[in-house]
């Protein structure tokens, strides 16, 4: 059983998948930092010093200044600002993956189209091109063998 597991893990596609997942997680962290630390602060500044991560609705009658304050008080919240940040992160990751796939497709060699199946054959007597299903040559009227 151990040798089967070892053979499974050591297959190329399993290792490739593991590397892809690790790089994907790291890329996700980079994009998350890009959104939260680089993109959203200037957007918030342009919109009048707005911090999207603190857009929330507290599901209580009390008022809280930040999501963290509400969570510390044990109040349920709908943190739609965090959701906005997450949607922006997703769009950036999806666009980056789209660009990566387009780039890889350009690098891959184009597959040659399979040659079309022949629809004609040459008459054995006059050498003219005739349909495959013909039993008599329309040019020289020779009887053809059914093949």
Closest CA to 56 of 79, 74, 72: 79
pLDDT (tens place) for every residue of the chain, 147 residues total: 888 877 777 776 777 788 888 988 888 888 888 887 888 788 878 878 877 778 888 888 888 888 888 888 888 999 898 898 888 888 888 888 888 888 888 888 877 777 888 889 999 889 999 998 888 899 898 888 765
pTM for this structure? 0.54
**What pLDDT shows up at residue 12?**
66
CB 137 within 8 A of CB 125: yes
Token pair, residue 89, equals 């992160």
**What pLDDT shows up at residue 129?**
92
Other C-beta atoms closer than 10 Å to the C-beta of 39 total 16
CB 21 within 8 A of CB 87: no
H/E stretch holding 4: helix 2-9
**What pLDDT shows up at residue 60?**
85
**What pLDDT shows up at residue 115?**
84
């Amino acid at each position: 059983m151990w040798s089967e597991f070892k053979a499974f893990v050591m297959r190329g596609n399993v290792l490739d998948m593991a590397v892809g997942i690790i790089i994907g997680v790291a890329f996700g962290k980079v994009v998350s930092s890009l959104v939260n630390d680089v993109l959203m602060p200037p957007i918030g500044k342009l919109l009048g010093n707005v911090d999207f991560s603190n857009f929330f609705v507290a599901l209580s009658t009390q008022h809280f200044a930040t999501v963290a304050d509400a969570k510390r008080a044990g109040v349920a919240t709908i943190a739609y600002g965090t959701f906005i940040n997450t949607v922006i992160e997703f769009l950036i990751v999806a666009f980056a993956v789209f660009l990566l796939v387009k780039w890889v497709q350009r690098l891959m060699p184009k597959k040659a189209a399979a040659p079309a199946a022949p629809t004609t054959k040459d008459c054995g007597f006059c050498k003219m091109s005739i349909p495959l299903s013909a039993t008599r040559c329309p040019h020289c009227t020779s009887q053809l063998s059914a093949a």
